[in-house]
């Protein structure tokens, strides 16, 4: 049964769309516009009660949210279909790439995304409250960024830089789902902090390598976004 990807504009469902394009797996795409408050419209929430994207459906009684869960589900389904090869996208349990794959598949959307989301929150809050509260929040945000967020972000990027100095991709020398799930926090960081391009050249080369993949370009076009950072600046 064909998977339907419910794509909320300017959302992280780009990663699932990119995976489907890499697999050349048949799918349907439904795109939803955000409301003026930037939240998901009612018809999207009817499928995903939390209003989170991505969400996929298959048939009348199946719906699944959360990017990594969806990626695993799709790879499971693809592995049973003739002509679809998933062994590189998800290295085998006994492969030398497996441990790196597991780490980089789960770390960026959790640890790295925590840094980027927290930074977004502290950027937005001072703009939504009156002075002098906004002044106090900016001072607090500066301390949080200096003492917590920046050190954590750079620790992650140093680890990625070391990995990518000897590998073309995060789990080895071929694309895996780890690269796909990592794209959003990395692109968001690059969009927000342009200086990272020079500080972490191997990471930047990796990002450029991903951007040139035909499946990546096709997914970006179908998503309707002009970049993967999706406005998270």
Final residue before a domain boundary, out of 45, 63, 86: 86
Domain assignment of residue 69, given as a range: 3-86
Shared domain for 73 and 141, answered yes or no, is no
Section 166-182 average pLDDT: 97
222: in domain: no
The residue ranking higher by pLDDT, 82 or 222, is 222
Shared domain for 142 and 73, answered yes or no, is no
The predicted pLDDT at position 232 comes to: 41
Section 94-118 average pLDDT: 95
What sign for the dihedral angle of Cα 34, 39, 43, 45? positive
The residue ranking higher by pLDDT, 51 or 25, is 25
Average model confidence (pLDDT) across the chain: 89
Section 194-204 average pLDDT: 97
194: in domain: yes
Say how many domains are in the chain.
2
The predicted pLDDT at position 84 comes to: 66
Final residue before a domain boundary, out of 53, 86, 119: 86
CB 70 within 8 A of CB 56: yes
User: With 70 as the cut, is the pLDDT of residue 83 above it?
Assistant: no
What sign for the dihedral angle of Cα 110, 179, 191, 44? negative
The predicted pLDDT at position 1 comes to: 65
The predicted pLDDT at position 231 comes to: 39
Shared domain for 116 and 210, answered yes or no, is yes
**Strands 3-8, 27-32: pairing kind:** parallel
34-52: pLDDT as tens digits:
888 888 899 998 888 777 8
Q: Where residue 70 sits, what CATH number does that domain have?
A: 3.40.30.10
* Interhelix angle 177-192/14-23, nearest 10 degrees: 140
Shared domain for 110 and 211, answered yes or no, is yes
The predicted pLDDT at position 74 comes to: 94
pLDDT bracket for residue 59 (50, 70, 90): confident
The predicted pLDDT at position 202 comes to: 98
User: With 80 as the cut, is the pLDDT of residue 183 above it?
Assistant: yes
119-164: pLDDT as tens digits:
988 888 777 778 888 778 788 878 888 888 899 999 999 999 999 9
225: in domain: no
Cα atoms found within 13 Å of the Cα of residue 89, Cβ hemisphere only: 23
pLDDT bracket for residue 27 (50, 70, 90): very high
Q: How far apart are CA 178 and CA 110, in angstroms?
A: 13
pTM, 2 dp: 0.90
């Amino acid at each position: 049964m064909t998977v339907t990807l419910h794509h909320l504009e300017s959302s992280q469902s780009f990663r699932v769309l990119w995976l489907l394009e890499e697999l050349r797996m048949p799918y349907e795409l439904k795109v939803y516009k955000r409301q003026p408050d930037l939240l998901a419209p009612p018809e999207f929430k009817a499928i995903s009660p939390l209003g989170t994207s991505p969400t996929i459906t298959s048939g009348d009684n199946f719906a699944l949210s959360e990017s990594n869960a969806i990626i695993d589900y799709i790879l499971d389904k693809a592995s049973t279909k003739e002509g679809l090869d998933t062994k590189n996208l998800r290295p085998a349990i006994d492969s030398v790439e497996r441990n790196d794959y597991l780490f980089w598949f789960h770390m960026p959307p959790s640890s790295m995304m925590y840094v980027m989301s927290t930074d977004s929150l502290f950027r937005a809050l001072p703009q939504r409250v009156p002075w002098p509260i906004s002044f106090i929040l900016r001072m607090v945000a500066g301390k949080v960024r200096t003492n917590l967020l920046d050190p954590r972000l750079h620790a992650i990027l140093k680890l990625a830089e070391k990995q990518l100095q000897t590998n073309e991709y995060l789990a080895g020398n071929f694309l895996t789902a780890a690269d796909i799930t990592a794209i959003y926090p990395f692109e968001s960081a690059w969009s927000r902090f342009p200086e990272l391009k020079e500080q972490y050249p191997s990471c930047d080369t990796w990002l450029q390598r991903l951007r040139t993949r035909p499946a990546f370009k096709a997914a970006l076009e179908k998503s309707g976004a002009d970049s993967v950072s999706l406005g998270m600046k």
